[in-house]
Amino acid sequence: MRKEDCFYLGKIVRKHSFKGEVVIKLDTDEPELYKNMESVYVELGNNLVPFFIDKSSLHKGNQLRVQFEDVYSEEEVDSILKSDVYLPLTLLPKLEGDKFYYHEVIGFSVFDSNFGEVGTIMHINDKAAQPLFEIDREGKTIFIPMIDDFIKKVDRKNNQIQVETPTGLIELYL
């Protein structure tokens, strides 16, 4: 399985017992969607390795307590501790309306109701306090905060996002 065909589900953050159980901190607002999985991909080095799940249960909010098959000791857990966990993109629940996954809108055109066509989304910068659309406009990068008030419409059929930004925001970058 290739990483680009997967989405980040979370990270194995700690051991839970002496019998090889681990706690995965899930990167989701809906942890209950992932409590009955059969397997996950664990990133080991540069590879995604499938790990099958014996049992799992929700644990403290967005954490999942997991017992993997063939991992029954603390020593075996040490080799996967702090590893990232992934699932295939095909398992992502479909979003509708103006909700979207970051990877889903890469390549979408952005139109501002005041400015007109802004450009094409090249990347989502989620390292800042507020996630940002990174938009290419003829070789220049424009950053638009991903604020619900700014996003007016997500048109999946035409690969477009309609935004309404404060006057002058886009011109700052030009």
Alpha-carbon separation of residue 82 from 47, 71, 146, 165 (angstroms): 15, 15, 29, 39
Residue 3, pLDDT above cutoff 90? no
Q: Residues 17-65: pLDDT tens digits?
A: 888 899 999 988 788 888 889 999 999 999 999 999 999 999 888 999 9
Burial, 66: exposed, middle or buried (Cβ in 10 Å; 0-12, 13-18, 19+)? buried
pLDDT confidence of residue 127: 82
- Tell me: pLDDT of 90 over 90: no
Summarised one tens digit per residue, pLDDT across range 92-105 is: 877 888 888 888 89
pLDDT score at 21: 93
